[in-house]
Amino acid sequence: MALVLIVEDDVTIRETIAYNLQRDGHEVVTAEDGVSGLDLAREQSPDLVVLDVMLPRMSGLDVCRLIRAETPVPILMLTARDSEADVVQGLDLGADEYVTKPFSMRELRARVSSLLRRDQISRDAGPAAASRNGSSEALTAGDLVLSPAQHELTRRGLPVKLRPREFSLLEFLMRNPGQVFTRDVILEQVWGLTYPGETRTVDVHVRWLREKIEEDPSDPRHIQTVRSVGYKFQP
């Protein structure tokens, strides 16, 4: 059972989501505006946050930014606008997933389950798990050294701070140098997602990684785009 925080100003949507997640066995707390949602996130330390973009008192994007600065809790954004700019902005601020309104409750429940499952896997895959799987050996590419067991990355000997999903994506690519992967394959292998049309998530995380590990992100040396196919890691 997980504790899920729902921040949504539409009472019908809020109560419907709460009812369905409670039926799935989760404990639920709710807020109807951004300020109250942020306060609850800090007080309750939820396992997952379902967060609407358009909220009174404080926007969902601002709430997302502030929560992400304090905790790696999974965040699922709800947006009534299906524009790429809105989705990318939410992902840029640290959201893990998004669902566009109107949405089916079945889809939202599946996204919640997927996020919770992935978060639990990330928690379990600590140094001991890495050692058991024989994957604790450091990976090196040029001036990059990635240490799975310590969950650390250095560049030219200096630490590079990565979000959990950025680390997982880089580790996956570094373990498969020279291989070209489609965005759909990356989504499945790194995110555990099989939903079509979610490839913008991959593009955003690739852009974040390039900004942190590449000398010139506009002309990347390591994470290269293969036109009309996907990405590959060039050591």
What are the tens digits of pLDDT across the range 146-165? 998 888 999 999 999 887 77
The residue with greater pLDDT, 219 or 85, is: 219
- Say what angle helices 60-70 and 34-44 make with each other, to 10 degrees: 20
Single-letter amino acid, residue 26:
H
Count the domains in the chain.
2
Rounded-to-integer distance, Cα 96 and Cα 121, Å:
15
Q: Which domain holds residue 114?
A: 3-124
- Confidence band for 209, pLDDT divided at 50, 70 and 90: very high
Residue 218 maps to a domain: yes
Q: What is the pLDDT of residue 98?
A: 85
Q: What six digits make up the tokens of 78?
A: 């709800």
pLDDT tens readout for residues 112-135: 998 888 777 656 554 444 443 445
In this predicted structure, the answer to whether residue 48 has a pLDDT above a threshold of 50 is yes
Residue 17 maps to a domain: yes
Do 81 and 146 sit in the same domain of this protein?
no
Rounded-to-integer distance, Cα 83 and Cα 70, Å:
28
The residue with greater pLDDT, 198 or 95, is: 95
Q: What is the pLDDT of residue 133?
A: 44
